[in-house]
Structure 1
Amino acid sequence: VNKEKITLIEQTVDSIRADLTYPLADSAYIGLVIHLALAIERLQQREFIQMEEEYLSELRVTKEFEIAEKLIEKLENQFDLKIPEAETGYITMHLMGAKVRYNEDFILEDSSLSVAFKAKQLIEYVSKAIQRNLHQSPQLLNDLVVHLKPSLYRIQQDMDISNPLMDQIEEDYPELFTVLERAVKHVFPSLEFPKEETAFVVMHFASCLLNMEGARGLRVLVVCSSGIGTAKILAAKLQRQFQEIEEVDHQSLFDLKQLDLESYDLIVSTIPLEHIEHYVLVNPMLPTSDVHRLQHQIRKVKIIESMKALEKPVPIADQTLQTIQDSVSGVQRYATMVSQILNGLYVFESTSDDKGTVLKETCHYLVDEGALMEAEKITKALLKRETSGGLGIPGTGLVLYHTRQPSIPVPSFTVILLEYPITIQGMDEEWMESDVFILMLAPEEISKEGLEIMSFLSTLLIEDPVSTETFSSKEEDRIKNYVSNQIHQFFKKKLS
């Protein structure tokens, strides 16, 4: 594939990046460009690929398909080529598999809850194997869900996964690598996990372990081309290795233009940077030679900062009025949402042995409480959601139903205690007996803070022994006190 063709493809991909509602990691961008270059080469040689119509019809309704169509149309004009719809489908898969973003409601997405359950299983397996409690890191769960969702999609669709750092990761973390190889086989028995993907997962766990021993001083920017995992593990290594470092931000190469680089004491990059004079180029795995160079650079920065302090003592700057107003407004929004959810905390008992009846009765009860309108419509939405995948939480007697609808005026969290167990499909696709339904409802338009709290509550339910035991106790006061205290702890963290 010649360079001119690559350049044209890059320009075309750049033209549709703004249409995406999430940033493309550099690795995903490069992967997409390479895929397109090979596809065009193939089509010019009259070699065509096929895609099942059933699967293609599922892709057509996605936002990514619409963007892929726009991209294909531009490429057809660029290369004077007719590109079949199957190619649009494969580009859609690339875009869907490239979603690397932190939405406040990410865990609450239908397909994310089952991934969160699997991520919890991985954390549990590794915690036991290395005898460290990794459940204390909510960031690890979040990062694993963000990473695994597109990765599992790629594995299921037999898409190639490339990880040029695999050998180095295995060399640096041999024991953790072995543990994760066993863990992914245990948690995903029906999937063939490539070693390259296992290495990515190892990076997330290694980053978590390194941060558990973190240190604190300078503000550092890490620039990487290969996405979240590489940047995170390098950032964690920097904080562990250098006590002088207080804060590390990591950004992709394409986001540098939006940053105030002057606000960083040190820029560390794994790739050469044009138009930036002062930065330290390092290997992502931070070998000894790079550690020595960074030590030298940090000493220089510290000396310069010390000299500035001697020349002109500067008092700690007051925050601006706008910053203070934004901070206070944020706290007020959290307080409002916490108050709403606490007011919308219900425990309902049902004597029915039919799940549809249970949900209908509960929705009518919530209408009487002013928590929702149109009970029949919400019941149908909840039952329809179940057709797309199991909702039971494996290893428990709990089932989580959730939906966001315009006819729900305020968020609510309802625990439904069943007199008779009902057979439900679990998130692991196995059938299970449930005697407690959890019903999480939210307005279609809800604030970022509200989504964050609802997402927090959903993660509590996924394989958490304390919450499982509390909800299974069927004691109303105990359940309400537990949920209230968890929300209170969440709010206190936001205040600190």
Structure 2
Amino acid sequence: MNARVTLIFRKGGRRTMKVSNRQRKILELLLSRQDEMTAEQLGQMIGISSRTVHRELQILDPVLAGYDLALVRKSGSGIRLMGDQRSLGQFQEQLRRSDTETYSPEERKVLILCHLLSNDEPIKLFSLASEVQAAIPTVSRDLEELESSLASSGLALVRRRGYGIEITGEESDRRNFIVKLAEEYIDDFLGALSRKEIWPTTHELLKLVGHDALFSVERTLWQLDENWVRRLREADYNRLLVRLSVAFIRIQKGDLISSTSRMSSVILSEESKQKLNALASSLGIDELPDEELIYMQSLLDQAKEKERRSASALLEQYGLGLAERAISLIRLMEEESGTPFHKDRTLLEGLISHLGHALERLQQGETIRNPLLAQIKNDYESLLESTIGSAAKAWPDIVIPEEEAGYLAMHFGAAIERWKLVPRQVRALLVCTSGIGSSKLLAVRIVKEVPQVDLLGHYSWYEASRMPSEKYDLIISTVDLPIEPDRYIKLSPLLTKDEAERLRGHIRELSFTPEIAAHEEQQQDAWQRLNLLNRYAMETVMILETFHVYELDSGRSPRLEQLLKDALPIMLQDHGQEHANAIADLLIQREQQGSVFIPDTSLAMFHTRSELVAKPMISLFRLHEPLLLNDQEGQIATQFLIMLAPAGLNRIGLELLSEISAMLLQSEMNQLLIEGESEKIRSFMSRQLEIYMKSKLEWREST
């Protein structure tokens, strides 16, 4: 659905143009600036996505050429409107006099589709024209152009005089088309939801997608503890969220999937049904019909398949050699450009994902085609030359053609853009009192969106306020803190793109002393990596050796304070038992600051760091009688985990304790905590920490 921009010539040769409100705002911003602006900056100022900005700029290119002007796209800097002063002045005056359309042709078509897809009854042509503020002949022409797009998606546009206009087809095809439409025109769903002002097209698309459902679906998906979901690439993760949200919104409207012959042979496990109905329950749907259960499971299965093809799966398929070559390429490009590419995990994963299939095609003698090569040469000339040279060194046994090097250059160009947004590494404390799940969710999003942030750990405000200021550079919190606003930044656990940009801006404004700025990790040789592995292993053994399971007689009316004071002497019998009551008081203070209850379990976790604790320790206490933690929210615990750590525990120890906390969100871990013996639980934690260490050291190998 490409929009058309027409130059209209008046008598006397004077020309005018029709631009949409959105295009006018973009042009006015570019005309007002002497320097470059990135697509992301333009989008934020106007309230649209960066992808939409690029789409509008493509439409405006030929218009500007008619005025001897050009949009110059410069790698690492952004976009600038170029031309001599006379041409710029004439264009600015012409823009001031030009006619403005409410919607561009492209926006109008999207709105038409939204109205038709959201209605189950036919719509009269004049009503549709009124909705999109266009003439009836214009809407008729738009409908003709939309027919082929709908047909290719298995849908039909029905137009009958006296009947109206409607879209017909299978419900599954309709849902797929809504998802396709949303993905094409919204590239930041969570960011779009958080904006105060959004464009009508975005607003209508969000209604179709189910803007109220997106957050609920995401929270429930994390609580279901599907580990593969967290390994999805961002695009696949967002697609799964949108597909599920669209499905639930359609179900709420009563638009259900029809039974097919294929469905009759599908048998779902009880566990799958329970998980899917839990998702539905989060949106107020009591129970899903069998057809919808099967459909939902197919969405999850398709996303799982995507995850299997992700970077980790490619490593298994092509071997560690692929990762080593990709890391080698990153190091070579870093030497060329001076940009610390090794810190960008997204770059490594993107290269592995791309190179696995690309190298396979090259080795089979297939021709690589790159329709963007001319533009890459124009916009990223020096970067492309560096990539060609570095790729030749990384793969001396394979000829990397210019077309393939162009694709690689795009990965590095994107990494440069990410790094320029925040050109330094910073150490951050994460203060989150809304439960482990939300803090882990925010941590994952921060690492993905702003790789320059080195999260030192999750802390309560009580703990963070006692941390020496020279140990960290900033505080990130999900709640208001009793300090000056410029000393911390408040973010939601979901970290929208707008919030990620605000975080980058906050970091840019920080003042860094030479000592703090110089804390960057140094490149580690093989001996250092071996030493690091040894440190991780020793810390892991030391922590897990302390793990024990105890039965605790809680009495008929258990009180939390008394239970903790009964439990601590047992846990500390060989390690500072005299401090048991004082540590119990610290745990109670921590509990008063926020939830200690693990969602969808019967487990509570109490943790603290203190000078009174000699070494990190973990113990599980199973209660004879259930403990009511929160009457209003119905939080009843039948067991609780106590995690203690010294105030000065080293960073590796903190990382490992954080990983153990994250394990509490896994169903397998929770089942073991309910009925497993100490050794089985310890064995499970050992395996999980081993995976974590390998993952950590695999990346550190590139530093």
User: Structure 2-normalised TM-score?
Assistant: 0.34
Choose 1 or 2 for highest CA Rg.
2
Higher relative contact order (Cα pairs below 8 Å, separated by 6+ residues): 1
